[in-house]
Amino acid sequence: MTQSFPPATIGYGFSHAHLLGIDPLKPGEIAYLLDRAAYFAELEPGEAPDALAGSTVINLFFENSTRTRSSFEIAAQRLGADVVNMDVATSSVKKGETLIDTADTLNAMRPDFLVVRHGQAGAVKLLSRKLDAHVLNGGDGKHEHPTQALADALTIRRHKGKIDGLTVAICGDIRHSRVARSNLLLLQKMGARVRLIGPPTLLPNSYEALGVEVYHRMDEGLRDVDIVMMLRLQVERMAGTLIPSGREFFRFYGLDRDRLALAKPDALVMHPGPMNRGVEIASDIADDLDQSVIREQVEMGVAVRMACFEALATRRAPTTLRAA
Amino acid sequence: MSKRTLIRNVHLFDPANGHDGPGGVVLYGDRIVAVFGGDSAIAADADVVIDGQGATLLPGLIDSRVHLSEPGLEYRETVGETARLAARGGISTVIAQPSTAPAIDRPQAVYAVSHRSQGGKGARMQTLGALTVGCEGKELAELGLLAEAGALGFSNGTAPVGPLDTISRALNYARSTGLTVCLGQMDAVWGEPGVIGGELAARMGLGGIPALAEVMSIERDLRLVEMTGVQAHFDMVTSAEGVNAIRDAKARGLPITAGTGIAYATLTDIAIGDYRTHAKLHPPLRPDRDRLGVVQGLADGTLDTLVSDHRPIDTDHKRVPFEQAEPGMVGLETFFSLALSLEDRGVSKARLISALTSAPARVFALESGIRPNAPADLTLADLDRPRRLSEARLHSRCRNFNYEGIPARGVVLKTYVGGKLVFERA
């Protein structure tokens, strides 16, 4: 399957010390990561190369997470790394330690990789400046969540054979979504057309400056799209009153059969999870194995995280990677 | 017994008093007693003669928006240090904001500012009083007593004055003191913690503060000024639309004054780059079209005053995630050079010097200018000497600086306050 995607010729490979976001990556680097991930996805769990043997990975999650943290943990273990989960909720951070002091402390333990999730945009970048380890962004505030975007891209590529030329609608709570931000950056870099759909309070018009099409009505935005990407309504981030209620949101922005019929007949339905059934997506669509690839996104999550670990571990120069 | 000091062989530059040419001044005690053109023989009369070697003599600069760290945050900067840094920057009078901790909302606090600055050689330390208790926008501060104690005007610091009823009463009452009230602070209701509105906020995943937050505050406050007749100064206009609102109001004949901070005329939100917390300011840095609007406002006189908005912040409160970082930048030492750099962007030298001298003096009713019987507050500077701005050359303890490596010109040689030499470049 991998072979059907000819490697992009420019900048194919990966040469960053950290994976902080999609923004710094070139199309060739994204293609490289996706190719490697596609390879890992075909392997049985025991067959993976032990590219991380002898390495230590610290999962440092300042925000709660089950799926992302487990996914990073499994990916690192399949490549032979030792994984330590730092439970920040009970650590010195709660006792008032600053982020910089935490970085110094962790540095002294000499980990090889640090996977960080933090509630504030830019915090992962700040940590990466102070650490000798490779830092992977597991989500920073409302900024980026690069590995989720890579998992989504791989899922799309497995089904559509390409990303270039597709029309993708990202729907719902755009404003609070780091997943949406990373996805729109990645999809645009790889040649897809991106539409954003959501109520004006959750989708400010300023997003038009990012080169996307902004829609405030599902019926207009979903027409003839190849991919429908739903987002979780992040009720916990809505300090103010951004939408009146869950049921009103579902009435106008939820994905049901009638709305999905507006998209192309073979459109894929995606959701980064966790889902609020009946708020942004109808249960029967979420469970429809013909159209929904939600479970596959999770599976691909492990594969792309393996690819990211491997790419950082080897940090191969772009020119030596053609044969990969 | 006071000595007569002659400063000769200088280029007098004071647009408000019509000076732009070679000349000199004679100081006696804390006053200027004579001003002359050319190089006359008054020299014979003086006890001390200072040869300016052709440098430019300006009225002492007035920086009308400086944030003190004392009381409360002395580890960042004491009042004495602020006064000395100001003198280094050619500033002879500092007008401090009242939003210290605790706020300058009672007469003792006004006395304390001048008391704390004594013992240090430096700029005159003046202060505004808080418009409301604790700058919280709830109860009126003792405006009359603050005025008696020497507050030059009123301000609510960086906070808007609160609900309409509070602000309208505060302005109505403040009118009785005859002092100027600083208005137009952007409305915090719009201000999610973060940087800016528009594209950068969307791209960086930070909360946005649209320029409209400022424009609406300005427009609301303009109506209140019209209603109450208070003397108002919109001291921090930072957006193109805000400048337009002020320009329209002045054209309508409203007797207001306005100003801006040097950052908003020299920097854009590009400076934030990859979450650079030093470029986190309040109000936030904006796109280039706003900077151009601000520069245009200075050039055409819509904006009367220019301030450093000096606010020292230590590393521990800057080296944190962007949203947690305290806003502000240091500015006293580089203020003058940065202001002069605007001459290359279409603001005349006369306008610039007025914005640093006669305009703030008029707004806050201070005596200033190169004329007989004015206080001997003077700045001697070489306006053309090039310098490279650098954090390494700052004397400030806090290093929240945004102009590393920027080439500029204008070097302060001497600063006089009340006839006393408070700074001299070695």
Q: Are A33 and A13 in contact (CB under 8 A)?
A: no
Looking at beta carbons, which residues of chain A come within 8 Å of B320?
98-100, 126
| A202 → chain B, closest CA residue | B202
User: Does A237 have pLDDT greater than 80?
Assistant: no
Does A320 score more than 70 pLDDT? no
**B320 inside 8 A of chain A by CB:** yes
Q: What is the pLDDT of residue A10?
A: 61
Question: What is the pLDDT, as a whole number, of residue B188?
Answer: 57
Q: How confident is the model at residue A240 (pLDDT cuts 50, 70, 90)?
A: low
> How confident is the model at residue B185, as a pLDDT?
82
Q: Is B300 a catalytic residue?
A: no
Indicate the pLDDT class of residue B245, thresholds 50, 70 and 90.
very high
* Interface check B275 vs A, CB under 8 A: yes
Question: What pLDDT is attached to residue B158?
Answer: 81
Q: Across chain A, what does the average pLDDT equal?
A: 89
Q: What is the DSSP pairing of strand A213-215 with strand A193-197?
A: parallel
Q: Note the pLDDT of residue A319.
A: 41
The per-residue pLDDT for B1 is: 57
User: Scanning every residue of chain A, which has its alpha carbon at the shortest distance from the alpha carbon of B207?
Assistant: A142
pLDDT band at B177 (very low <50, low <70, confident <90, very high): very high
Residue B304 in this model has a pLDDT that exceeds 90? yes
Question: Which token pair is A181?
Answer: 């931000």
What are the tokens at B357?
């001298």
The predicted pLDDT at position A1 comes to: 43
**pLDDT band, residue B309 (cuts 50/70/90):** very high
Give me A23's structure tokens: 């923004």
Answer whether A89 touches B (CB < 8 Å): no
**For A163-286, where are the alpha helices, taking DSSP H only?**
178-189, 218-221, 246-253, 257-260, 283-286
Least trusted range by pLDDT, from A33-37, A239-243, B259-263: A239-243
Mean model confidence pLDDT for chain B: 92
Q: What is the DSSP string of B334-390?
A: THHHHHHHGGGGT--HHHHHHHHTHHHHHHTT---SSSTTSB--EEEEEEEEEEE--
Say yes or no to pLDDT of A95 above 70.
no
Q: What is the pLDDT of residues A108-167, one digit of tens each?
A: 999 999 999 998 899 999 999 989 999 999 999 999 999 999 999 999 999 999 999 999
Catalytic residue among B221, B309, B377, B382: B309
Chain B residues 199-218 within an 8 A CB cutoff of chain A: 199, 201-206, 208
pLDDT of B121: 82
| 3-class SS of residue A24 | coil
B202 vs A99, A122, A209: nearest CB: A209
**H/E element holding A261?**
none
Structure tokens at B275: 């979450």
Query: Cα separations (Å) of A225 from A193, A256, A270?
Result: 9, 15, 13
Residue A181 at interface with chain B, using a CB cutoff of 8 Å: yes
Q: What is the mean pLDDT of residues B69-81?
A: 93
**Mean per-residue pLDDT, B275-287:** 92
